[in-house]
Amino acid sequence: DSGVTQTPKHLITATGQRVTLRCSPRSGDLSVYWYQQSLDQGLQFLIQYYNGEERAKGNILERFSAQQFPDLHSELNLSSLELGDSALYFCASSVPGTRGGEQFFGPGTRLTVL
Amino acid sequence: QQQVKQSPQSLIVQKGGIPIINCAYENTAFDYFPWYQQFPGKGPALLIAIRPDVSEKKEGRFTISFNKSAKQFSLHIMDSQPGDSATYFCAASMSGGATNKLIFGTGTLLAVQP
């Protein structure tokens, strides 16, 4: 158990809908990262937050957004869902001041868009 | 230049064998190279990591070899066991920039036969 929690574990929805994925980092970790894992794209970095502020963006679609709250949990919002958004979404967190990318991943949310 | 190339895509070894997974990168600004292990339905778990100032690192049965001049690194699993059957991902990140997001390789599916 990495200490990173994600809810829900599974999510099934229809095209055009909007969903919210939630992540709680390990106690004391200030950075939260979101990654998408799909069969054709592999593990791709989406976005990073550090202590409530956006730190970096990767291959994140404009239909997707995220935020990190004062208690450091983060939410990833996916809207106008398309079939191709079906994937595993992982959240990771890292300790403050970690030199390099020592990140600990949650169990993921499996999103299925029908 | 942000890519990390990983090979082979899949690997089958007998119990006790030494599977070797290779990765190559282009961006010399990368300075942290972790390996992650992922079981079906689980999130990636940090296995072992190396920085460019050393050429080899061992943790238990897992060894990373690093060749800075060739911009390559590899994972060796000594005395492999059926329980090591999983997907392995190499990754790279930069500690000096605004983000230490992980750039992942495409993964290697390892099967250790009893």
Nearest C-alpha in A relative to B9: A42
CA angle B79/B82/B87 to nearest 5° reads: 95
CB pair distance less than 8 Å for A43 and B32: no
Query: Per residue, what are the HEC states of B57-114?
Result: EEECCEEEEEECCCCEEEEEECCCCHHHCEEEEEEEECCCCCCCCCEECCCEEEEEEC
Nearest C-alpha in B relative to A108: B43
B46 closest CB neighbour out of A33, A58, A104? A104
β-bridge partners, A110:
A10, A88
Q: Are the beta carbons of B74 and B23 closer than 8 angstroms?
A: yes
Q: What is the mean pLDDT of residues A95-103?
A: 68
Measured between alpha carbons, how far is B58 from A62 in angstroms, rounded to an integer? 42
Closest Cα in chain B, distance from residue A46 (Å)? 9
| Per-residue pLDDT, A97 | 62
Q: What is the mean pLDDT of residues A53-62?
A: 92
pLDDT per position as a tens digit, B52-79: 999 999 999 999 999 999 999 999 999 9
pLDDT per position as a tens digit, B24-36: 999 998 989 999 9
- Residues making up chain A, counted from first to last: 114
Q: Is the pLDDT of residue B47 over 70?
A: yes
Measured between alpha carbons, how far is A19 from B23 in angstroms, rounded to an integer? 35
Q: Which of B31, B95, B100 to mutate to test the interface with A (most CBs of A within 10 A)?
A: B100
pLDDT category, A98, cuts 50, 70, 90? Answer: low
Q: Is the pLDDT of residue B113 over 70?
A: yes
CB pair distance less than 8 Å for A99 and B101: no
Task: Round the average pLDDT of chain B to a whole number and report it.
Answer: 94
Query: Max Cα separation, chain A?
Result: 41
| Per-residue pLDDT, B103 | 94
CA distances from A21 to A18, A64, A71, B9, B20 (A): 10, 11, 16, 30, 36
Handedness of CA B47, B23, A102, B32 (dihedral sign): positive
| Per-residue pLDDT, B95 | 76
CA distances from A108 to A86, B15, B38, B112 (A): 13, 30, 12, 25
Task: Round the average pLDDT of chain A to a whole number and report it.
Answer: 93
| Per-residue pLDDT, A74 | 98
For A27, the 3-state DSSP assignment is: coil
Give me the percent of chain B exceeding a pLDDT of 70. Answer: 96
Q: Is the pLDDT of residue A30 over 60?
A: yes
For A85, the 3-state DSSP assignment is: helix
pLDDT category, A99, cuts 50, 70, 90? Answer: low
